[in-house]
Amino acid sequence: MNTNQIITLLPYQKPFLFVDGIDTISEEGVTGHYTFKKNESFYEGHFKNNPITPGVILTECMAQIGLVCLGMFMLKDELNAQTPPQIALTSHQMDFYKPVLPEEKVTVISEKQVFRFHKLKCKVKMLNSKGELVAKGLISGMLKA
């Protein structure tokens, strides 16, 4: 399964798809990216005249790239193109360090910590285009093909 197939099989669509591309992927981790468009709906009220990407959206971006894309790669032999995988976020713990503004490209780097019985736990971090740490933490979820 190649990276384009993984993105096509993701159970998300615009405006809730936060994966533009997967740069590298292996059994040990994934690196991917997303650019936040200036017309994303959540910027309208967050914050007035000073749009900043909400932390929950940054967490979602990290989960989509760092947990779901990696989980789909891990389950590639079980996936069926007609039936999207079922995914449940079971826990997350995030720390945020810098804001992400409209038109900013971020890179998500995820390292597998544990994958057993279809439960995946990853250490994730998000970097801005300058290579500065935006956020980091742990994300866990259950995946079913």
Question: Catalytic site residue 46?
Answer: yes
- Token pair for 28: 């040990």
- Token pair for 89: 């976020």
Report the SS3 class of residue 140: strand
Q: What is the DSSP letter of 82?
A: T
- Token pair for 94: 């995030």
Question: What's the one-letter identity of residue 108?
Answer: V
- Token pair for 54: 């909400």
Distances (CA, A) of 10 to 6, 97, 128: 6, 28, 23
Active-site residue (options: 33, 46, 92, 118): 46
Phi/psi for 89 (5° steps) reads -70, 125
- Token pair for 130: 């300058």
Query: Which active-site residues does the annotation give?
Result: 46
